[in-house]
Structure 1
Amino acid sequence: MPRPPSPSIPEKEFLYGSLKQSLRLDGRNPLEMRTPTLTFGPDLGWVECAMGKTRVIAQVEGKMVKPPPERPLEGLITIHSELSPMASSEYESIRPSEEEVTITRMLDKVLRRSDVVDKESLCVLSGQRVWHLRLTIHCLADAGNMLDCACLAGVVALKHFRRPEVEVVGEEHDPSERAPLPLSMHHTPFCFTFAYFPDPTILPVLDPSHLEQRLSAGLMSVALNAQRELCVVQKAGGMPLDQQEVLRIVDVAVGKAKELDKLVETRLKEDWAGRTVEVR
């Protein structure tokens, strides 16, 4: 017999029954997120982020270009996300799904529009040469909450990237022999997604799994940094939320952002210390 479509009625009933007791199928508490694992590649600006079985690769590349005339002092940043059927059978290679469009737009808001990178620091020569940074997000496996994993991978890749220091000699722009420079970043935002369910007795869950996401009545994503500066609030679905609930969720996200900030800084220092030893 063919397997019934997922999620099936027994899966739905079992999940709701567990969540009513504040139990999640993977053993987490309602407001507990999967601990991210960051793996750095041999090239600066390449990072793989895994949250449970959800896996994303982010890569930053830079090249010098001529800036647009309306912004002669600012560098350029473009973000490209690739969600293929390899990540999940729900994605199509021909046309982007609704979730793929949502993730791409959210990444643009969180990582580009919130001025994570100081664009003026990317200027080499006013009106002539600026750095163009291209951030590419490859989604390898979707086991739920792809958005938060992709945002984390993207911001860590930007922090990990180093650009060559360029000397301007007449009309020439040559990379100097000095150590490459980290990007000048204004802040480090993180994204946290909460899933809400149609039964009001079920508490919202942070970092939903694939099944929790599929059976939720609405999702709320909050992007902010450890300094409590709010970047983006996005709500998907028809689940109504009052003001007090939104403020409560933001407070939870602030605490999680402080924890993630420490984790990211620790992993970056460990990776850089290893590269310094190799150079010596």
Structure 2
Amino acid sequence: MPRTSKRTPRKRWLPLREPVSQTQSVLSAIFIWTLFFVVWEGVSWAGLVNDLLVPAPHKVLTTLVDMLANRDLFSDILISVWRVVFSFGIACAVAIPLGIAMGSFPAIEAVFNPFVSAWRYLPAPSFIPILLMWFGTGETPKLALLVIGVIFFLITLIMDHTRQVRSELVETGLTLGASRWTIVRTIIFPAVMPNVLTAMRQMLAVTWTYLVIAEIVASTTGIGAMMMRARRFLHTDEIMAGIIVIGFLGLSFDILFRKLHQWLFPYIQQRGH
């Protein structure tokens, strides 16, 4: 009988929904950012853009190093990070218990959801004049703007995730005689927390997008205030340096949340494989 050999299946170039290795993820990230800066440098070197309006990346990076070493950029970064973390903490302290309560009890949802849904469609920057009238020009209007920008979306996301907790888990708890609050505390809350952390990660990115707007509000400190000062003197390299810093900080927080999710809920990663 002729001997048949088993052929090893050829690895597909672009598999569908197949996770990639850590090495491939790192190399892909390095490749796309290298390509971005190479194209940017090439466009600047070729003279296709005005150097005053679009400075070359090497000039922006040189300015960034100088601002960190010789100016007050580092203190501005610390102030901006504090504003983001503090305001986001306030939003989470309200949104997590309220969102879980609304997702668990339809009667609570019936009361709060019409209010929350309406506020989601109001642009946060439109509150700047009234926040200045109410709270003056201190830290309060900036923090309030950051809270308003994310809290209502975060409540809705958490409510929707709570609704998706498997109903048979809740029914099992009721069958065993557990009280409503015991079920919320021991079944619904642990089941929804992985998705709550994912929602927090998503909305923290929105908080960073509102940061510059918040720091325009009669502010002399923070990354946004630094960028507005640079705009007055047409220092585009300083503005782009601020954009790079905000992007780097946002990416760092995103990675931190991702690692925290993997550390707190390792069983989800195992289940995915």
Q: Which interval holds the TM-score relative to the shorter structure?
A: 0.3 to 0.5
Point out the structure with max Rg over C-alpha: 2
Structure with greater strand percent: 1
TM-score after normalising by structure 1: 0.33
TM-score after normalising by structure 2: 0.33
